[in-house]
Amino acid sequence: MILEKIVCNFMGTNCYLFGDSNSKEIAIIDPGGNPVMINNRINSRDYKPKCIILTHGHPDHTGAANLVRREWDIPIFHHPKESPLIDFRDTKSIKEPDVVKIGSEELHVLDTPGHSPGGICLASYDNKILFTGDTLFRSSIGRTDLGGGSFDRLMNSIKTKIMRNPKISDDFKIYPGHMDESTIQTEKKANMYRRDFL
Ligand SMILES: [Zn+2]
Ligand SMILES: [Zn+2]
């Protein structure tokens, strides 16, 4: 498995490169800024980008998507409900229960609205990894005061799609859209909102 994090803008957005270490095929998750830095990293590792996946449509997660796409001539995937937030065209729709294959690796789409109407998380069940975008952070959760946000919807998403998902065990690592990694177990014990989502 390939997994790299690039903090790509002044908002501290985490762009992730995830893929298959044999074929070097990768998905680029949330290229939120600094396309030169992202493309240089890909070139320096000799990776073969297959697609861009946006966890949601906020500009701090999408800012470099169009420029990175042009460099590699690859599709951009996002949930259809995020379309109003995205100011470039010719993107492709993705939603639960879609699965994106990257070489021998798989990313399973989970619909987790609440931070935004079409927010998604991406699960690699084989590697026990969950990319949570701005849905779930280390010790916290995404804002719900932006357009289309809903605290109740976000709590329901975290509860039903993550914490009570029979395929997501406590030893899963989470890779959020901002700040550091964590585990499901840590968030069940220490997240400020655990009483609302457990
Ligand atoms: Zn956001
Ligand atoms: Zn964000």
Could you give the CA distance from residue 191 to residue 20 in angstroms, rounded to a whole number? 31
- Compute φ and ψ for 124, nearest 5 degrees: -105, 95
Q: What is the pLDDT of residues 137-178, one digit of tens each?
A: 999 999 999 989 999 999 999 999 999 999 999 999 999 999
Task: Please give the distance, rounded to the nearest whole angstrom, from the Cα atom of residue 58 to the centre of ligand 2.
Answer: 7
Letter string b/e over residues 106-138, b meaning 16 or more CB atoms within 10 A of that residue's CB: bbbbbbbbbbbbbbbbbbbbeebbbbbbbbbbb
Ligand nearest to the CA of 30: 2
Query: What pLDDT is attached to residue 176?
Result: 98
Rg (CA), the chain: 15
pLDDT, mean over the chain: 98
| Cis amide linkage into residue 97, ω under 30° from 0 | yes
Ligand nearest to the CA of 178: 2
> Beta strands 25-29 and 48-53: pairing type?
parallel
Q: In sequence order, what are the residues at sequence separation of 6 or more whose Cβ sits closer than 8 angstroms to the Cβ of residue 101?
A: none
Is 2-197 a CATH 3.60.15.10 domain?
A: yes
Q: What is the pLDDT of residues 14-48, one digit of tens each?
A: 999 999 999 999 999 999 999 999 999 999 999 99
Could you give the CA distance from residue 56 to residue 48 in angstroms, rounded to a whole number? 23
The mean pLDDT of 103-115, rounded to a whole number, is 98
Could you give the CA distance from residue 12 to residue 84 in angstroms, rounded to a whole number? 23
Q: In sequence order, what are the residues at sequence separation of 6 or more whose Cβ sits closer than 8 angstroms to the Cβ of residue 29?
A: 15, 16, 17, 18, 52, 53, 54, 55, 122, 131
Q: What is the pLDDT of residues 54-82, one digit of tens each?
A: 999 999 999 999 999 999 999 999 999 99
Query: What pLDDT is attached to residue 83?
Result: 96
Q: Is the pTM of this model over 0.75?
A: yes
Query: What pLDDT is attached to residue 3?
Result: 98
Task: Please give the distance, rounded to the nearest whole angstrom, from the Cα atom of residue 182 to the centre of ligand 1.
Answer: 18
Task: Please give the distance, rounded to the nearest whole angstrom, from the Cα atom of residue 23 to the centre of ligand 2.
Answer: 30
Query: What pLDDT is attached to residue 66?
Result: 97
Task: Please give the distance, rounded to the nearest whole angstrom, from the Cα atom of residue 164 to the centre of ligand 2.
Answer: 24
Query: What pLDDT is attached to residue 141?
Result: 98
Query: What pLDDT is attached to residue 154?
Result: 98
Task: Please give the distance, rounded to the nearest whole angstrom, from the Cα atom of residue 41 to the centre of ligand 2.
Answer: 21
Query: What pLDDT is attached to residue 59?
Result: 97
- Using a CB cutoff of 5 Å, list residues around ligand 1, an ion: 58, 134
